Amino acid sequence: MTAGTKTLTLLRHAKSGWDDPALRDYDRALNARGKRAAALIGGYLRSGGAVFDHIIASPALRVVETLAHVETGYGRTLAPEWDRRIYLASAVTLLDIVHEFSEDSARVLLVGHNPGLEDLAMLLVPNSDEPARVALEAKYPTATIAELAFEGSWADLAAGSARLVRFVRPRDLDPALGPEED
């Protein structure tokens, strides 16, 4: 199965804390706002009927915790494949990982970090004045999802070949969660 519509959903980890300056970046946990935002995004995914054939994520603590809280709102168990290469990866590295996806998977959730996720979305979605693309270009806040669709195979996904189907920030679902500082 190489043809057909594929969906790549990008989720940036939720808001994490910087409370302990001695803590490694990799080991930073979510703060209360991040936990709330991740659960809200999970509920949004559930209400929209989102289903994923494959989930791949950075093993950094803030991503692990983001997925745990998304799972709470989503109401289903998520079973991600943890891939260390996603941790602070560039758009080019993330695209290399996407190119490795099995053609048996039509809907994939990729969970990671900025600036790589934002750069990947900007690379794959052509520049336009559509509101979602303009919002993506302005900022890709924590716990935000960008859903991209394209025709063809994962291996052939290239710059400018995807459509931005939706771009949803936690503050779009609950204004109390915005504006985002980072």
CA–CA separation, 10 and 29 (whole Å)? 20
Q: Model confidence over 20-51: pLDDT tens digits? A: 888 899 999 999 999 999 999 999 999 999 99
CA–CA separation, 29 and 142 (whole Å)? 13
* Torsion angle in degrees (nearest 10) through CA of 112, 121, 116, 118: -90
Q: Which phi and psi (to 5°) does residue 50 adopt?
A: -65, 135
CA 127 to chain centre: 19
Q: Model confidence over 50-91: pLDDT tens digits? A: 999 999 999 999 999 999 999 999 999 999 999 999 999 999
C-alpha distances (whole Å) from 132 to each of 46, 70, 73 are 21, 22, 24
Q: Structure pTM?
A: 0.95
